[in-house]
């Protein structure tokens, strides 16, 4: 399958250049993807970002150099750290010991192996979806910076929603929401910091916008909308992974250059019967 071959070629490129400065945009091209789509899919499938994978692989390979007796300062430069102190800090975070201590006999260390991609579709749950085109539209809402490192996004986004509910933004948007309801929008992915902007928003309205709100344009796109039934956010996590790891590669689609949308109709979002949607902008693999 083209998708599998492209993703595995991208990993091979990373491995071949592990001691060099790696351009994520070049890696994405090898994967026949946009930068956003490649990083988003990689994170959804593996649970870590591309940047974190590179860091873990470099530190895994660095152990071999440490045990062989190479100087720490040389190893730190070899794997892209500006100073031995920065390397030592990263090494200790991953292994729990300093590079010098790793040379001692009997120290427990862990390796992070090279990844490879295989398509495995369980098919144990239906994925109800529809595909449609929609013209561009404007939204307005509250925005926060979200980190993807160590899957912090899965805790930071619900925390952001709780904050908006506590200070009244959610209630204001609920009273002004159009037919789409309230939207959760993931956009502006930063390939260098493993971050993206997340908005709680509604379709732009004509009345005065309160202070602290921002607006954004959602471009025209072809969307695949997936139904999710159950309490938010639990029902969304598994569905997102299945969309990226099963549906997109098996159907021959990739992410187009537009934000991901969560569509929340006004209602009890914590009910077992609550129905919402995830919209993914798509295009066929070339």
pLDDT, one tens digit per residue, over 2-29 is 777 888 899 999 999 999 999 988 998 8
Cβ–Cβ contacts within 10 Å for residue 86, how many?
12
One-letter-per-residue 3-state SS of 227-248: EEECCCCHHHHHHHHHHHHHHH
Name the residue with tokens 């991609």.
Answer: 117
The answer, yes or no, to whether residue 1 has pLDDT greater than 70, is no
Give me Rg for the CA atoms of the chain: 21
182-190 vs 129-134, strand pairing mode = unpaired
pLDDT category at 205 given cuts 50, 70, 90 is confident
pLDDT tens digits, 183-203 = 999 988 766 567 889 999 999
Distance (Å, whole) CA 185 – CA 202:
10
CB 31 within 8 A of CB 254: no
Which of 188, 175, 251, 237 has the alpha carbon at shortest distance from 217? Answer: 188
Residue 127 in contact with residue 226, Cβ under 8 Å? yes
What does the pLDDT average to over 87-91?
94
Give yes or no for a contact between 136 and 234, defined as CB atoms under 8 angstroms apart.
Answer: no
% of the chain beyond a pLDDT of 70: 95
Provide the pLDDT for residue 246: 81
List the one residue out of 274, 241, 37, 263 whose CA is nearest residue 127.
Answer: 241
For 179, residues 6+ apart whose C-beta sits below 8 A from its C-beta are: none
Per-residue tokens: 83: 């100073």
The pTM score is 0.76
For residue range 210-238, list pLDDT tens digits in order. Answer: 889 999 999 999 999 999 999 988 888 88
Enumerate residues 6+ apart whose C-beta is below 8 A from 181: 202, 263, 264, 265, 266
pLDDT averaged over the chain? 88
C-alpha distances out from residue 176 to 138, 153, 214, 230, 263, Å: 14, 27, 15, 24, 15
Q: Give the Cα-Cα-Cα angle 146, 236, 119 (nearest 5 degrees).
A: 100
Q: Rounded to an integer, what distance in angstroms lies between the CA atom of residue 20 and that of residue 281? A: 33
Q: How far apart are CA 127 and CA 129, in angstroms?
A: 6
Asked if pLDDT for residue 31 goes beyond 90, the answer is: no
Confidence at residue 181, expressed as pLDDT on a 0 to 100 scale: 95
**Domains in the chain, ordered, with CATH?**
2-103 (1.10.10.60), 129-284 (3.20.80.10)
Identify the residue whose tokens are 């250059």: 257
Mean pLDDT of 76-103: 92
Q: What gap in Å lies between CA 245 and CA 44, rounded to an integer?
A: 7
């Amino acid at each position: 399958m083209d998708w599998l071959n492209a993703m595995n070629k991208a990993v091979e490129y990373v491995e071949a250049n592990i001691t060099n400065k790696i351009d994520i945009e070049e890696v994405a091209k090898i994967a026949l993807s946009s930068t956003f789509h490649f990083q988003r899919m990689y994170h959804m499938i593996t649970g870590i970002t591309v940047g974190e994978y590179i860091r873990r692989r470099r530190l895994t390979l660095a152990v071999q150099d440490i045990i062989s007796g190479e100087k720490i300062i040389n190893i730190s430069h070899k794997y892209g750290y500006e100073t031995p102190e920065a390397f030592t800090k990263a090494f200790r975070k991953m292994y729990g010991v300093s590079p010098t201590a790793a040379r001692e006999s009997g120290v427990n260390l862990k390796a992070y192996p090279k990844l490879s991609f295989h398509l495995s579709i369980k098919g144990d749950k239906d994925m109800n979806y529809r595909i449609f085109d929609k013209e561009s539209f404007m939204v307005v809402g509250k925005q926060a910076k979200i980190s993807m490192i160590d899957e912090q996004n899965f805790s930071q986004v619900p925390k952001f929603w709780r904050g908006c509910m506590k200070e009244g933004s959610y209630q204001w948007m609920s009273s002004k929401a159009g037919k789409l309801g309230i939207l959760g929008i993931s956009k502006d992915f930063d390939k260098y910091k493993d971050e993206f902007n997340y908005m709680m928003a509604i379709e732009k309205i004509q009345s005065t916008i309160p202070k602290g709100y921002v607006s954004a344009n959602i471009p025209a796109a072809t969307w695949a909308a997936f139904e999710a039934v159950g309490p938010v956010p639990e029902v969304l996590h598994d569905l997102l992974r299945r969309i990226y790891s099963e549906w997109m590669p098996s159907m021959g689609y990739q992410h187009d250059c537009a934000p991901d949308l969560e569509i929340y109709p006004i209602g009890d979002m914590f009910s077992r019967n609550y129905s919402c949607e995830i919209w993914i902008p798509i295009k066929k693999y070339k």
